[in-house]
Amino acid sequence: MRRHDSDVIVIGGGLAGMVCALQLLDANRRVLLLDRDAPEHLGGLAKESFGGLLLVDTPLQRRQGLKDSPELALADWLAFGGFDAASTQAGHPCYWPRQWAEHYVNDSLEHLYHWLLARGVKFLPLPLWVERGMGAGSPQGAPRGNSVPRWHVVWGTGKGLTDALAAQLERHPRRGQLTLQFGHRVEGLITTAGAVSGCQGVVEAGGEPFEAHAPQVVIAAGGINGGDLSQARRHWHPDWGAEAPEGLLNGSHRYADGTLHRAAEAVGGQLTHLRNQWNYAGGIAHWRPRKPRHGLSLVPPRSALWLNARGERIVPPLVSGFDTRDLVTQVCAQPGGYSWQVLNRKIALKELAISGAEFNPSVRDKRMLGFVLDIALGNRWLLKEMLAHSTDVVTAGSLDELAAGMNALQGQAEVSAQTLREVVGHYDAEVAKGAASQDPQRQRIAQLRRWKGDRLRVCEAARIDDPGARPLIAIREQIISRKSLGGIQTNLSSQVLGAAGEPIAGLYAVGEAAGFGGGGMNGLRGLEGSFLGGCIYSAQRAARAMIASIPTQPLGPP
Ligand SMILES: Cc1cc2nc3c(=O)[nH]c(=O)nc-3n(C[C@H](O)[C@H](O)[C@H](O)COP(=O)(O)OP(=O)(O)OC[C@H]3O[C@@H](n4cnc5c(N)ncnc54)[C@H](O)[C@@H]3O)c2cc1C
């Protein structure tokens, strides 16, 4: 039996765990960071992420003439997340999530934006406008989203973010007080006299058991939407049908299996809002999978036609960038629970993108010239790679040939060439009408293009069946799991709460494990970027509370 002792144990070396460890080192604490994964994966999902953070009223927004405020952001957040007025009352299931939302929007400028700048993180100058909401009077009755662009992308993507923090840890003057143990799978918590006092598990290589002891333990082990997907299926939201679609892909962490959620529950911690998953509709299978059912999440091209399994246009037409959850709801209601996007080479070059660091190399590797060329000339290398390797992509020289290719890929003759010709012909006629078109997709595209961040990446008027833009392309898209919006319930100090709302002594939860704060601070929908932001913010709050609760270590020179 291996034994470790420390002032604080942090379980999980993702973004939340790293931030917590950094803050604790700053305050002269000894930290033991345990992670099941290998050392090269320090940073967890954040390292793979695109690195977009929701920040409110920043100098970058003001430079673009955008007027934002915590009040406006909170109103957007509460509406989009579906918070009701009674959530201000203690005891309401969304009381803690709402408290977290309020504090996040008030603190993001100082605690996220300036905190990150001070640690060497830089942002792209133009905030992007994601999750705009479907707008008043939308057929789906969906709520408002971001009133202004707030999604601030880190120069270097999520890799740039975690690299900067990893460097801070490695070069920390108190580096000697940080012990990193990888390949350590934590399986349960240890309690002493009613307080959490450590954890136990096994070393992956060899299976040797270990115990770790400390008066304070932080769960930073991520969400429940990855692993073998059994938890994502078990907590499937009824808005998306009785069961998750058969083709569900994994877009989360391979170890996001809820082990630490169950461990928290075993010592009395409350789990809340687990059905509030944040999944995406544009999933395709990864052609170099690193985990079972490994999926990639497309940024679904706005000028593509979004069709169901039979090749019929989904109505009202789906357009990404307004309400991610609504896209999932609409696709899950279609036969087979998957969809097709039909486009052509010209649209793909301008609009096709895959979320995350892996397929955005110019931003990830901080190559400004490459980034500018990708925008100016289109993602030629990405299209080439997808056409060469993706098993979800079909190309053709005509619509009849495309329908045949779609049927061959799916192994069923579901798409009729005549239907495909009709829907494409109808849409192309709408494109030809220009600004006079009443087609909702055309109107949404015009709306998107009013913001320069989108104008750069959305075609103005692109027909699908354009002989000058061939080949025609069809992409088969599955629902892909991503974030757990719910999780372990916490108060504003990130302390895990028991059934009566009392803190469980010695136990904290941060990041996705805690639903990014409070057990689900986003509510039903996230404005995007509040995930990475919530990891940093909840970890900072946990560290501050721990430091305040045991002021035993006088701050001397390192
Ligand atoms: C491709 C992609 C793009 C994304 N883009 C964005 C974006 O632009 N903006 C945004 O806000 N969010 C984004 N996200 C989401 C965001 O990256 C995550 O929500 C966030 O990084 C979660 O961080 P975490 O530290 O809470 O958990 P994780 O990153 O999941 O880290 C948890 C750690 O705990 C370890 N662990 C798990 N179980 C155990 C165990 N039993 N014992 C020991 N260790 C364990 C894991 O190995 C892992 O290292 C994206 C995610 C992906 C995958």
Calculate how far, in angstroms, residue 534's C-alpha sits from the geometric centre of ligand 1.
Answer: 11
Nearest alpha carbon, ligand 1 atom 2: 49
**Cβ of residue 163 lying under 6 Å from some atom of ligand 1:** no
**Cβ of residue 50 lying under 6 Å from some atom of ligand 1:** yes
**Cβ of residue 222 lying under 6 Å from some atom of ligand 1:** yes
Calculate how far, in angstroms, residue 552's C-alpha sits from the geometric centre of ligand 1.
Answer: 32
**Cβ of residue 221 lying under 6 Å from some atom of ligand 1:** yes
Q: How far is Cα 460 from Cα 321, in angstroms, rounded to an integer?
A: 16
Calculate how far, in angstroms, residue 240's C-alpha sits from the geometric centre of ligand 1.
Answer: 24
Calculate how far, in angstroms, residue 242's C-alpha sits from the geometric centre of ligand 1.
Answer: 27
Region 238-242 average pLDDT: 96
Nearest alpha carbon, ligand 1 atom 25: 14
CA-to-CA separations, 240 to 123, 150, 281, 315, 325, in angstroms, rounded: 35, 28, 12, 17, 10
Calculate how far, in angstroms, residue 88's C-alpha sits from the geometric centre of ligand 1.
Answer: 29
**Cβ of residue 43 lying under 6 Å from some atom of ligand 1:** no
Tell me the DSSP string of 198-238: EEEEEETTT--EEEEE-SEEEE----SSSTTSHHHHHT--G
The per-residue pLDDT for range 441-477, each reduced to its tens digit, is 999 999 999 999 999 999 999 999 999 999 999 999 9
Q: Please check the confidence at residue 137 and state whether its pLDDT lies above 90.
A: no
Nearest alpha carbon, ligand 1 atom 36: 221
Nearest CA-CA partner of 100 in 470, 490, 554: 490
Is the Cβ–Cβ distance between 557 and 112 less than 8 Å? Answer: no
Nearest CA-CA partner of 341 in 290, 300, 390: 300
The per-residue pLDDT for range 90-120, each reduced to its tens digit, is 999 999 999 999 999 999 999 999 999 999 9
CA-to-CA separations, 287 to 108, 325, 360, 387, in angstroms, rounded: 37, 26, 16, 11
Nearest atom in ligand 1 to 358's CA: 1
Residues, the chain, total? 558
**Cβ of residue 154 lying under 6 Å from some atom of ligand 1:** no
The per-residue pLDDT for range 280-309, each reduced to its tens digit, is 999 999 999 999 999 999 999 999 999 999
Nearest alpha carbon, ligand 1 atom 51: 49
Nearest atom in ligand 1 to 44's CA: 29
**Cβ of residue 143 lying under 6 Å from some atom of ligand 1:** no
Nearest atom in ligand 1 to 15's CA: 25
Q: How far is Cα 52 from Cα 157, in angstroms, rounded to an integer?
A: 8
Residue with the two structure tokens 């709801």: 329
Region 331-344 average pLDDT: 97
Measured CA angle at 147 (ends 143, 153), to 5 deg: 115
Nearest CA-CA partner of 152 in 279, 58, 38: 58
Give me the helix-helix angle, 399-410 and 417-432, nearest 10°. Answer: 130
**Cβ of residue 264 lying under 6 Å from some atom of ligand 1:** no
Per the confidence metrics, is the pTM higher than 0.75?
A: yes
What's residue 141's pLDDT?
A: 60
Nearest atom in ligand 1 to 18's CA: 25
Q: Please check the confidence at residue 227 and state whether its pLDDT lies above 70.
A: yes
What's residue 558's pLDDT?
A: 46
Instruction: Produce one character per residue of 542-556: b if its CB has 16 or more CB atoms within 10 Å, e if not.
Output: bbbbbbeeeeeeeee
**Cβ of residue 15 lying under 6 Å from some atom of ligand 1:** yes
The per-residue pLDDT for range 64-97, each reduced to its tens digit, is 999 999 999 999 999 999 999 999 999 999 999 9
Calculate how far, in angstroms, residue 512's C-alpha sits from the geometric centre of ligand 1.
Answer: 7
Q: Please check the confidence at residue 140 and state whether its pLDDT lies above 70.
A: no
Work out the burial of residue 449: count CB atoms within 10 Å of its CB; fewer than 13 is exposed, 13-18 middle, 19 or more buried: middle
Give me the helix-helix angle, 95-107 and 530-549, nearest 10°. Answer: 100
Calculate how far, in angstroms, residue 247's C-alpha sits from the geometric centre of ligand 1.
Answer: 22
Calculate how far, in angstroms, residue 132's C-alpha sits from the geometric centre of ligand 1.
Answer: 24
Nearest CA-CA partner of 248 in 260, 230, 261, 267: 230
More confident residue, 2 or 553: 2
**Cβ of residue 35 lying under 6 Å from some atom of ligand 1:** yes
Give Dmax over CA atoms of the chain in angstroms: 77
53 in helix, strand or coil? strand
Cis bond before residue 557 (omega within 30° of 0): no
Q: How far is Cα 173 from Cα 175, in angstroms, rounded to an integer?
A: 6
Calculate how far, in angstroms, residue 15's C-alpha sits from the geometric centre of ligand 1.
Answer: 7
Region 218-233 average pLDDT: 96
Nearest atom in ligand 1 to 253's CA: 30
- Chain Cα centroid distance, residue 20: 20
